[in-house]
Homo-oligomer: A and B are copies of this chain.
Amino acid sequence: MEEKEISQAVISRLPRYFRYLGELKERGIERISSQELSDIMKVTASQIRQDFNNFGGFGQQGYGYNVEYLYDEISKILGIDQMHQLIIIGVGNLGQALTNYTNFNRRGFVFKGAFDCNPELYGMKIRGVEVRPTEEIENFVRTNNIDIAVLTIPKDQAVPMAQRLVDCGIKAIWNFAHVDLDVPENVQVENVHLSDSLMKLSYNITRYEKKHGRTGNGKTGS
């Protein structure tokens, strides 16, 4: 059986489809055509059909797509029909914020453990999740079938920690440290580089102002 590789460009769009379909579902809408979805989402109907067709025909000619069915299929494609066990490494500002966020749960992402190297944090509980010393990571990952490690530690710590995670059989790393991780291909990495995102925003501000001749609000410190 020939499984063709789906491009990441397509995958990146799936969560957005999923979100819109979830909203339609909640509003009790049963069916939708690629054209209607196109109007709502501001992407071409053609792209919508192409995207879905990568995974097989979910629609019906003359009818369109069944919202609930399509929603379920996308959730299967994304693998969020299954539970994922997470641990968080680095219980600082960002680590705590993520652990406290309840909405990941609703998509089947469950925080099972939290780890830090700061002894003062040991035993502290965040939404029922206890903070443990980093020494326990390896054992915890293995005995609790952890899929994903969330890395919210300083960047110089992230590289060796990623290696430890790889060595104890983690499946994926959600990396918030501002550094590239070099891992084998059996470990998936998704980077969230917030500074990069902010810089892109800065570029777009600058570009717009250049193009439209507004030099800005005088600013530069003041």
Question: Do the beta carbons of B80 and A221 come within 8 Å of each other?
Answer: no
- CB contacts under 8 Å to B, within A78-92, are 78-80, 82-85
Who on chain B is nearest to A83 by CB?
B221
Mask of A72-111 contacts with B, CB within 8 angstroms, 1/0: 0000011110111100000001101110110110010100
When A93-B97, A93-B100 are in contact, do A18 and B201 touch as well, CB less than 8 Å? Answer: no
Question: Do the beta carbons of B219 and A80 come within 8 Å of each other?
Answer: no
Who on chain B is nearest to A191 by CB?
B197
A78 partner residues in chain B, CB cutoff 8 A: 199-200, 202-203, 206
Question: Do the beta carbons of B217 and A147 come within 8 Å of each other?
Answer: yes
Question: Copies of this chain, how many?
Answer: 2
The CA of A198 and the CA of B94, in the complex, are separated in Å by 15
A207 partner residues in chain B, CB cutoff 8 A: 6
When A186-B208, A186-B212 are in contact, do A203 and B83 touch as well, CB less than 8 Å? Answer: no
CB distance from A88 to the nearest CB of B (A): 13
The CA of A12 and the CA of B220, in the complex, are separated in Å by 24
